[in-house]
Amino acid sequence: MKTKIFFVTTNHNKYLEACSIFRNSDFLIIHKEDKYHEIQSNDLEPIVRYGLKTLSSKGIYPIMIEDSGLFIKNLNGFPGPYSSYIFNTLGNSGLLKLMKKIDDRQAVFKSVLGYSTSSSSIKIFEGCVSGKITTRQVGKSGFGFDPIFIPDGYTETFSQMNIETKNSLSHRGKSIYLLKNCLEI
Ligand code: IMP
């Protein structure tokens, strides 16, 4: 029988990405579509640690949560931990407008994943991917900033890739694979 891991997220795509990584493993990802309080912080890790702390009252274990951010070099790392707010307010078209006159389009996507088996046990896994912000939206799959992000060494946006290819390159793919490797030791 597979060991269940509860992934608390309101983002169905993140759940699908995690399922794809754990498909042929002894673990089964269960989607818990709950919200948790996200503190304001310039770093992702405190957000994840606090989220796991607040969720501990529910007693759901083992549990994982994940927080990501897009850090644009020429904007001094903006929007970073505020990526969700910027995506919901400006969207990809607003962000592209904001970057209209910017030539250096280097950016990094970061993912921090927190995994917990009890209120006193938290493990943190991090992944990041460098790439470029496009000048227009390209591609149909994925979510969020996927249509405007091309990982270094590639010519397609995350939105043009299938889930397996995105997972093999992406910030979240890396943090989830680190968790998987750790669980399989
Ligand atoms: P969250 O707070 O981790 O949900 O993500 C912050 C923002 O970054 C949200 O607007 C997400 O849509 C976006 N985001 C997170 N991960 C990805 C990704 O893998 N591709 C594209 N956008 C992402």
Give the tens place of pLDDT for each residue, 67-109. 999 999 999 999 999 999 999 999 999 999 999 999 999 999 9
Residue showing tokens 């998987």: 180
Q: pTM for the complete prediction? A: 0.97
Determine the Cα–Cα distance for residues 8 and 36; give it in Å rounded to an integer: 8
Determine the Cα–Cα distance for residues 155 and 30; give it in Å rounded to an integer: 33
Q: Show the ligand 1 pocket: residues with CB < 6 angstroms.
A: 11, 67-70, 83-84, 87, 142-146, 158, 170, 172
Element (H, E) at 44: helix 44-55
pLDDT at 106: 98
Active site residues: 67
Confidence of residue 175 (pLDDT cuts 50, 70, 90): very high
Q: 69 CA to middle of ligand 1, Å? A: 6
Confidence of residue 180 (pLDDT cuts 50, 70, 90): very high
